[in-house]
Structure 1
Amino acid sequence: MSRTLTEAELIEAIARLTSDRLTEYLAAEIVIPEQSNQGLRYQRIDVARLELACELHDQYDMEADALSMMISLIDQMHGLRAELREVLNAVEKQPEPVRQQLIEVIGTARFSRR
């Protein structure tokens, strides 16, 4: 589903989101909506990010700038997980001797840093 939401639809969809809170989150760039002829439009990922921002704001009394940094770190972790998954898939496609050699090299590097 690629349907986008207007600000009113977004606020209706997220129980804890108010117009003032959305304005604060936009200023902190927690979400960056698309500009269209009909105004700002929000994607499904924006809904998830705003739900998380509202939850963290309410539970931990985090300010918008801190929320922005926290969500940015979460984005980075997701990106790293995706990259690691790609590396693991590439390793899995290698012949057994190559896989064993990689396991040894990675294990040695991992344990030698301690």
Structure 2
Amino acid sequence: MRGIREVILEVEGVSETDLRVWIEYGWIRPARSEEDYTFTEVDIARVSLIADLRQRMGINDEAVPVVLDLMDQIYGLRRELRRVLDVVDRQPEPERSRILQALQEHASDDELG
């Protein structure tokens, strides 16, 4: 866990003002202590992502929450897909084969149109 100063040193091009504004906008939700905010690795990764969106990709402040929401949805879907795959992997072989066959058939149906 790190404070604002450490995050500023770690993430290039991000100022204390940027962080405080992004926290105010709700783009980042670090824990709050009496003296400072406390950033987890996930928070710092999100700070880095926001910096990239704004600086390297030219995404404006109005579009950042839309992009973040879409990315959060993608990560959530990936997490759910991993859970489904874990459940499939724990099934006995005949059931696992039937599930995989059904998925292949479904993919073939999608390709046909």
Asked if 1:30 is matched to 2:30, the reply is no
The Cα shift of 1:97 comes to 1.8
Asked if 1:5 is matched to 2:32, the reply is no
Higher relative contact order (CA 8 A, sep 6+): 1
- Partner of 1:26, secondary structure, is helix
Runs ≥4 residues deviating over 4 A: none
Give me the whole-angstrom Cα distance separating, in 1, the residues matched to 2:56 and 2:79.
Answer: 28
Q: Which residue of 2 aligns with 1:57?
A: 54
Once the two structures are superposed, residues 48-90 of structure 1 have per-residue CA deviations (whole angstroms, 9 ceiling, x without a partner) of: 1111111111122212342222123222222222221221122
- TM-score w.r.t. length of structure 1: 0.80
Contact 1:24 1:64 in 2 (8 A): no
Aligned length: 111
**Structure 2 unaligned regions, length at least 5:** none
- TM-score w.r.t. length of structure 2: 0.80
**Structure 1 unaligned regions, length at least 5:** none
Asked if 1:112 is matched to 2:109, the reply is yes
Asked if 1:69 is matched to 2:66, the reply is yes
Give me the whole-angstrom Cα distance separating, in 2, the residues matched to 1:34 and 1:90.
Answer: 33
Q: Match for 2:81 among 81, 84, 87?
A: 84
Give me the whole-angstrom Cα distance separating, in 2, the residues matched to 1:65 and 1:29.
Answer: 13
Contact 1:5 1:41 in 2 (8 A): yes
